[in-house]
Amino acid sequence: MAERAIPTDDELKQKLTPLQYEVTQRAGTERAFSGAYWDVKDPGTYHCIVCDEALFSSETKYDSGSGWPSFTEAMDPAKVTLKEDRSHGMVRTEAECASCGAHLGHVFPDGPGPTGDRFCMNSASLDLKPS
Catalytic positions, written as ranges: 120
Sheet containing strand 80-85, strands side by side: 61-62, 70-71, 118-121, 103-108, 92-97, 80-85
Rounded to the nearest whole angstrom, what is the least distance from the CB of residue 92 to Zn ion in the complex?
A: 20
The verdict on 48 binding Zn ion (CB under 5 A) reads yes
Rounded to the nearest whole angstrom, what is the least distance from the CB of residue 16 to Zn ion in the complex?
A: 12
Segment interacting with Zn ion, rule: CB under 5 A, options 11-19, 44-52, 71-79, 106-114: 44-52
Binding track, positions 68-107, relative to Zn ion; x by CB under 5 A: -----------------------------x-xx-x-----
User: 100 with 75: CB under 8 angstroms?
Assistant: no
Segment interacting with Zn ion, rule: CB under 5 A, options 46-54, 69-77, 83-91, 116-124: 46-54
The helix, strand and coil proportions of the chain, stated in percent and rounded to the nearest 5, come to 20, 30, 50
Buried b (16+ CB within 10 A) or exposed e, 84-112: ebeeeeeebbbbbbbbbebbbbbbbeebe
β-strand partners of 97: 80
Among 12, 16, 23, 51, binds Zn ion (CB under 5 A): 51
Task: Classify 23 as helix, strand or coil.
Answer: helix
User: Closest CB to Zn ion among 97 and 120?
Assistant: 97
Question: Which chain residues interact with Zn ion by CB under 5 A?
Answer: 48, 50-51, 53, 97, 99-100, 102
